[in-house]
């Protein structure tokens, strides 16, 4: 199914996600299109959904290559993929990203070094598209994820 706005199922998938994948690219005159796909993660709820459907995503310390952020600064077009690993449902979003380098919300979100807003333009929901299934183990948290905040804590 295709949407131009987040429906209840899409909002629930995003709100419960502890991981997402982001694709970005830049076109280079000599090297052609240079694509980057990377992972972003945190505790469930690390992605905030605004009333207008804009996603706010904290950006934590990573490999310090800044491929994704560099691409998004040069070209805001991006794709996000959210996966429900228990059902195999996929949520694909394409749209525009905006990097936020200075905001009081950065300081209030534990572990965040910057934020980015994502404005979805096209939304595809693909039920049971992933044939593999995983179940979350209660003690399966990455220690690094446990050192990050949530929007509930950031608002206090």
> Could you tell me the pLDDT band of residue 94, with boundaries at 50, 70 and 90?
very high
Yes or no: say if 122 and 2 are a contact pair by the CB < 8 Å rule: yes
Residue 23 reports pLDDT greater than 70: yes
Residue 61 reports pLDDT greater than 80: no
> What pTM was computed for the model?
0.88
Our count of domains for the chain comes to 1
Overall average pLDDT of the 5-22 stretch: 95
Angle CA(106)–CA(152)–CA(107) in degrees, nearest 5? 15
Rg over alpha carbons for the chain, rounded to the nearest Å, is 16
Looking up residue 71, the CATH number of its domain turns out to be 2.30.110.10
pLDDT digits (tens, 9 = 90+) for 110-140: 888 999 999 999 999 999 999 988 887 777 6
Question: Which pLDDT score, from 0 to 100, does residue 141 have?
Answer: 67
Please count the CA atoms within 13 angstroms of the CA of 46 that sit on its side-chain side: 25
Residue 12 reports pLDDT greater than 70: yes
Overall average pLDDT of the 71-86 stretch: 96
Q: Which domain holds residue 88?
A: 2-154
Name the nearest CA neighbour of 82 among 51, 57, 112, 52. 57
């Amino acid at each position: 199914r295709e949407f131009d706005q987040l429906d209840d199922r899409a909002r629930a998938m995003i709100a419960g996600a502890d991981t997402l994948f982001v694709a970005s690219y830049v076109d280079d005159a000599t090297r052609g299109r240079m694509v980057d796909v990377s992972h972003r993660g945190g505790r469930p709820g690390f992605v905030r959904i605004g009333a207008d459907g804009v996603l706010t995503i904290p950006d934590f310390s990573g490999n310090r290559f800044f491929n994704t952020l560099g691409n998004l600064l040069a070209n805001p077009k991006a794709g996000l993929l959210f996966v429900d690993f228990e059902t195999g449902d996929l949520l694909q979003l394409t749209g525009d990203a905006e990097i936020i380098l200075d905001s009081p919300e950065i300081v209030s979100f534990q572990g965040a070094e910057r934020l980015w807003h994502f404005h979805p333009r096209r939304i595809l929901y693909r039920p049971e598209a992933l044939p593999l299934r995983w179940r979350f183990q209660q003690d399966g948290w990455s220690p690094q994820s446990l050192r990050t905040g949530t929007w509930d804590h950031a608002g206090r």
